[in-house]
């Protein structure tokens, strides 16, 4: 070993006591079965997850689960500006809300599970330093003393001469500083970053075999990129990616497409250390079509649906969001779902080839449609239980009614549910109140009535009173309807729509005008589920009250 390099390396990293080999032993190859994928989600501790990163965490989790692999949550806090208090717990909660539970990694602000930790980068300093020191000893890394104004100057010259921007070749001023000089400058207390002495040749080509995008060709990296920063001595993303993904024995790096351009750096770092290279899948952005029909990136600032909190607040069931995420993740999932309509998609296997490279389109209407189908499959009692939880946080008034009228509420949710074609109108827990409010007097104090076909006050009074006094029947649905028809015949409305269509002038209207009136008077709505079941649940007394209330409101 070169003695001078040893002196330099010791000066640069005085605290390093271990070797790379020590770490290789501490974090051995994982004993997993063939094909098992080790994936990781690696956010900064910003306290929340937005939709784009939720999608990638979802995919990371799915591939690991599909293959009996391992899904790691690693916190990348080397950019301390992006850290917020309780930032890890916030992320964990967002993930947990969608059943994304890492197998290894941080479990709260300070604790983790797994044998490949620490899982937070600021606690891995000694490891990064060990790896960086080994490069200095091999003459493949060096201290760079350039100030930011010197770097700006180089950039200006490159711009002026239309040269490639960056710290490389003859622009890499500190690359060839004699080791003695470097030693002296460090001893004199000069600040430095640690740079890679890139062995790459920009004229040579390398290939990224991206699992989503196929093969992409790049020039080799020749930039002397920063490995360790000067102020906090923490690594850059590039160096941390090498060290962490190697030692955590990650097999698949699924990350945002913004990292594609850095691939040559990463490829070179893995080559220099002779480490097994991970597979890469660069995921596209999450896009939306906005009101003007333009396809654009889902924006944290402009689009409420970009925040995962939105789904929680709206009460969109996590099962529906998960199904939706899967449709966004893999283009063949929707077809699979049509053939396997359930909430459990563990039999569906994630396929990198079915990921859209051009970005995933996020469509809230489609999500709501999936949600409708989800609600269509649920039992009334399940809806009740989940709604109780949602309202306890977001709708106290409704929550209290649900508690007070538990059995009644379950019956309300069961209207047209246990039938061959169950109702599919609820889109979210939040939406339910609007579909059932009329079943609770407390929520029916000042309804805004839709306008039925029949509007004459006298006629309305006659119909509702006659119906209540002579024809009300709540025991049997067929009988109920035949009674209504009987009344129609008596009052001059066609009980048979065909007859009405043949000779409309012979009648005041038809049976649907009459049921429409009854419906509006009871519920304020022209459209509701089956009126018989509504009436059966409301019961005689309430029906009378509602009729009177309605008659009193019309002029």
Return the closest-CA partner of residue 51 out of 352, 363, 338, 339.
363
Query: Which residue in the set 9, 38, 42, 538 belongs to the binding site for ligand GLU (CB under 6 A)?
Result: 42
Interaction between residue 255 and ligand GLU (CB under 6 A): yes
Q: For residues 251 and 299, is the Cβ–Cβ distance under 8 A?
A: no
Give me 480's structure tokens.
């109920």
For the bound state, the minimum distance from the C-beta of residue 533 to ligand GLU, rounded and expressed in Å, comes to 51
Is position 287 an interface residue for ligand GLU (rule: CB under 6 A)?
A: no
Span interacting with ligand GLU, options 40-48, 348-356, 361-369, 413-421, rule CB under 6 A? 40-48
Q: What is the CA radius of gyration of the chain?
A: 34
Least distance from ligand GLU to the Cβ atom of residue 390, Å: 31
Does the protein bind ligand GLU through residue 241 (CB under 6 A)? Answer: yes
What's the CA gap between 348 and 60, in Å, rounded? 15
**Separation in Å, CA 392 to CA 20, 97, 398, 429, 450:** 53, 16, 9, 11, 30
Candidate list 8, 43, 167, 432; residue touching ligand GLU; CB under 6 A: 43
Total residues binding ligand GLU (CB under 6 A):
8
Closest CB 241 distance from ligand GLU, rounded Å: 6
Question: In the window 503-542, what residues touch ligand GLU (CB under 6 A)?
Answer: none
The distance of closest approach from Cβ of residue 519 to ligand GLU in the complex, given in angstroms and rounded to an integer, is 54
Pick 50 or 519: Cβ nearer ligand GLU? 50
Of 42 and 320, CB closest to ligand GLU? 42
* Residue whose entry in the numeric block shows the structure tokens 């929680």: 312
| Minimum separation from the CB atom of position 17 to ligand GLU (A) | 28
Q: How far is the CB of 219 from ligand GLU (least distance, A)?
A: 22
| Interface pattern 62-101 for ligand GLU (x via CB under 6 A) | --------------x-------------------------
If one asks whether residue 256 binds ligand GLU (CB under 6 A), the answer comes out as yes
- CA 66 – CA 320 distance, rounded (Å): 20
Confirm or reject binding of residue 44 to ligand GLU (CB under 6 A).
yes
Nearer to ligand GLU, 242 or 432 (CB): 242
Query: Minimum distance between the CB of residue 64 and ligand GLU, rounded to whole angstroms?
Result: 14
Residue 282 near ligand GLU by CB under 6 A? no
Give the whole-angstrom CA distance, residue 254 versus residue 223.
Answer: 24
**Part in contact with ligand GLU (CB under 6 A); list of ranges 138-146, 172-180, 250-258, 368-376:** 250-258
Cβ proximity to ligand GLU, 208 vs 401, nearer residue:
208
CA distances from 14 to 7, 22, 104, 535 (A): 10, 17, 31, 82
The candidate with the shortest Cα–Cα distance to 128, out of 176, 197, 193, is 193
User: What are the C-alpha distances in Å from 357 to residues 279, 284, 286, 329, 527?
Assistant: 16, 5, 11, 11, 43
Strands of 112-113's sheet, edge to edge? 112-113, 104-106, 70-73, 38-41, 252-256, 279-283, 205-210, 214-219
> 18: burial class by Cβ within 10 Å (0-12, 13-18, 19+)?
middle
CB of 103 to ligand GLU, least distance (A): 17
**Segment near ligand GLU (CB under 6 A); pick from 39-47, 87-95, 350-358, 489-497:** 39-47
Q: Phi/psi at 336 (nearest 5 deg)? A: -60, -45
Using the rule CB under 6 A, give the single segment among 61-69, 179-187, 248-256, 472-480 that binds ligand GLU: 248-256
* Alpha-carbon span 444 to 442, nearest angstrom: 6
| Contact window for ligand GLU (CB under 6 A) among 42-50, 269-277, 294-302, 310-318 | 42-50
- Measured CA to CA, the distance from residue 194 to residue 20 in angstroms comes to 18
Q: Does 288 bind ligand GLU (CB under 6 A)?
A: no
DSSP state of 308: H
Least distance (Å) between residue 130 CB and ligand GLU? 21
| Stretch binding ligand GLU (CB under 6 A), from 36-44, 207-215, 319-327, 373-381 | 36-44
Give the integer Cα–Cα distance in Å for 318 and 374. 10
State residue 285 phi and psi, 5-degree precision: -75, 160
Q: How far is the CB of 517 from ligand GLU (least distance, A)?
A: 60
Binding range to ligand GLU, per CB under 6 A, among 41-49, 419-427, 457-465, 520-528: 41-49
Element (H, E) at 328: helix 318-329
Min dist. Cβ of residue 79 to ligand GLU (A) = 8
Own/partner contacts of 204-207, CB < 8 Å, gap of 24 or more, are 206/264, 206/267
Q: How far is the CB of 42 from ligand GLU (least distance, A)?
A: 4
227/368 with CB nearer ligand GLU: 227
Residue 445: phi and psi, rounded to 5, are: -70, -50
Contacts with ligand GLU by CB under 6 A lie at 42-44, 76, 241, 253, 255-256
């Amino acid at each position: 070993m070169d003695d001078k390099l040893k002196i330099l390396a010791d000066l640069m990293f005085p605290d390093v006591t271990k070797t790379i080999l020590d770490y290789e032993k501490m974090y051995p190859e994982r004993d997993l079965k063939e094909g098992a994928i080790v994936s990781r989600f690696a956010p900064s501790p910003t306290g929340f997850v937005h939709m784009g990163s939720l999608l990638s965490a979802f995919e990371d989790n799915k591939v690991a689960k599909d293959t009996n692999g391992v899904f790691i949550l690693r916190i990348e806090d080397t950019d301390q500006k992006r850290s917020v208090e309780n930032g890890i717990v916030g992320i964990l909660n967002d993930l947990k809300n969608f059943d994304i539970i890492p197998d290894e990694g941080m479990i709260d602000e300070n604790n983790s599970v797994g044998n490949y930790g620490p899982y937070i980068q600021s606690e891995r300093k000694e490891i990064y330093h060990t790896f960086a020191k080994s490069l200095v000893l091999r003459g493949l890394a060096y201290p760079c003393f350039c100030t930011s104004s010197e770097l700006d100057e180089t950039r200006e010259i490159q711009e002026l001469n239309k040269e490639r921007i960056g710290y490389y070749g003859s622009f890499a001023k500190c690359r060839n500083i004699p080791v003695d000089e470097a030693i002296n400058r460090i001893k004199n207390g000069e600040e430095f970053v640690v740079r890679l002495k890139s062995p790459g040749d920009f004229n040579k080509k390398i290939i990224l075999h991206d699992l989503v995008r196929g093969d992409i060709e790049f020039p080799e990296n020749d930039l002397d990129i920063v490995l360790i920063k000067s102020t906090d001595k923490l690594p850059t993303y590039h160096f941390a990616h090498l060290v962490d993904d190697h030692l955590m024995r990650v097999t698949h790096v699924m990350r945002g497409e913004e990292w594609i351009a850095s691939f040559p750096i990463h490829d070179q770092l893995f080559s220099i250390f002779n480490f097994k290279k991970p597979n890469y899948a660069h995921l596209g952005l999450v896009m939306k079509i906005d009101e003007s029909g333009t396809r654009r990136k889902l924006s944290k600032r402009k689009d409420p649906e970009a925040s995962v909190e939105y789904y929680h607040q709206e009460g969109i069931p996590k099962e529906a969001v998960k199904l939706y995420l899967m449709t966004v993740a893999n283009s063949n999932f929707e077809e699979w779902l049509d053939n396997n309509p359930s909430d459990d998609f563990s039999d569906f296997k994630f396929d990198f080839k079915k990921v859209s490279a051009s970005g995933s389109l996020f469509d809230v209407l489609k999500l709501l449609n999936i949600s409708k189908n989800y609600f269509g499959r649920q039992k009334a009692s399940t809806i009740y239980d989940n709604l109780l939880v949602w309202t306890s946080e977001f709708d106290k008034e409704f929550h209290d009614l649900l508690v007070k009228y538990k059995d009644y509420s379950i019956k309300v949710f069961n209207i047209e549910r246990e039938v061959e074609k169950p109702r599919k109108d609820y889109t979210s827990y939040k939406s339910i109140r609007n579909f059932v409010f009329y079943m609770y007097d407390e929520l029916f104090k000042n309804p805004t009535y839709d306008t039925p076909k029949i509007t004459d006050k006298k006629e309305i009074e006659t119909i509702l009173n006659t119906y209540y006094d002579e024809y009300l029947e709540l025991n049997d649905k067929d009988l109920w309807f035949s009674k209504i028809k009987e009344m129609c015949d008596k009052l001059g409305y066609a009980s048979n729509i065909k007859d009405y269509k043949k000779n409309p002038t012979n009648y005041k209207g038809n049976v649907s005008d009459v049921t429409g009136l009854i419906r509006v008077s009871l519920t304020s709505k022209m459209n509701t589920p089956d009126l018989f079941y509504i009436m059966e649940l409301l019961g005689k007394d309430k029906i009378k009250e509602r009729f009177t209330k309605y008659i009193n409101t019309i002029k």
